[in-house]
Amino acid sequence: MRKRTLFIGMLLIIAGLALVAVPLTKEWQQANGVAQLEKALAAVQTGETIEKTDDSPSSWTKEQLEAVMELEIPAIDLKQYILDETTDENLALTLTQIKQEQVPGEGNFAVAGHRGYRGDRHFRQLPNVQKGDEIRLHTDDGKTYIYVVKSTEIIEPTDVDVLNDGEQPEITLITCTLSGQQRVAVKGDLIDVIEA
């Protein structure tokens, strides 16, 4: 009986360690990927050649790196890169554009991101965004597109009409609810474009 209890206890400890290790491993992989992305972005800005390393999660072309934007939401202390294509690999790393070849300031600029396991990774705090909060989209040409949040709502995964273009330029940010069954959609209207 004691051996069985000891065996079950050891099994539970191992299971608990595995449950803790999985999110920590994913966080480490994401942090490593972002570091590689930042290194590649710095290389493009200084005109250096981009080299693929064994520990980089992906290889980016110069064109892909030049298309990288940065999303900032001061109210939730969010500052994340946006990659121009939505793939599983890109979503594991950072935010992505939902519609191909979107142009900031034209139509509905749509961005997707995972919810993240804990802390402020990806769009973890997106449901906390309030009406009137500012969203800033920084582009590689030095422009900053400023949007003001007009709504935050819970929608079904099939409610794709939220991505349609409206009458004025806007931004739509999408992530999953904690259960993963629904989506959080934050919409904002473009109010200004600042050139550096």
Q: Which residues form the catalytic set? A: 114, 176
Dihedral Cα 24, 29, 34, 38, nearest 10 deg = 130
Token pair, residue 44, equals 């493009």
CA 84 to CA 97: how far, in whole Å?
5
Taking the C-alpha atoms of residue 163 and residue 174, their distance in angstroms, rounded to an integer, is 9
CA–chain centroid gap for 183, Å, is 14
In angstroms, rounded to a whole number, what is the distance separating the alpha carbons of residues 90 and 113?
A: 9
